[in-house]
Amino acid sequence: MAKRTRELKPLTSEHEQALLLAFQLKKGLAGHSESAGAPKDLPGLLAIARRYEDQVFGTHTRAEEDLLGQYLSDTDMRRLVAEHAEMRHFLDAARGAQPPEMRTALARFADLLERHVRWEERELFPALEAVISNDALAGLGHELERRLVIAQGELKQAQAAKRV
């Protein structure tokens, strides 16, 4: 990943998780033994995709759409929202699908997830960093920290409490 301003690091950190998931899904679907610890069976692959969706994806995409939207061109905002919706569609399609359709939906999700993250990291974020004032960037960073980092900590505490 490219060097990112401190304020956008919460998004970049989650993008690293997304790329690992995409890699795991692709390798697992292809039946490769080097799947970075991912299961190779479809229910297991769906489970890791759903865990990512529950723990990261929803909060992450809402934060991007809510917080970055005011700085994006209409074209970039439409692409951001459309790709997020398409990824949600693939995850929804995978749930309850028969194996061939589940495999296809997970493969499409993994492919789009990887392409989307690469676009954001290589094109969208550098363009944002170039046009946002330092004050606006500081405010954005504070809100991203609140929404993503603190929210992750609260989610982990809630999950730990359920296990006790």
Summarize pLDDT for 63-74 with one digit per residue, the tens: 999 999 999 999
SS3 labels along 42-67: HHHHHHHHHHHHHHHHHHHHHHHHHH
Domain boundaries, the chain: 11-29+43-163
Tokens 């759903």, located at residue? 50
The mean pLDDT of 22-39, rounded to a whole number, is 81
Task: Evaluate whether 49 touches 93 at the Cβ level (below 8 Å).
Answer: no
Q: Is the pLDDT of residue 159 over 60?
A: yes
pLDDT at residue 17 in the model: 95
Count Cα neighbours of 48 within 13 Å in the Cβ-side half-sphere.
25
Angle at 57 between CA 99 and CA 117, to 5 degrees: 90
Answering whether pTM is above 0.95, one says no
pLDDT at residue 162 in the model: 75
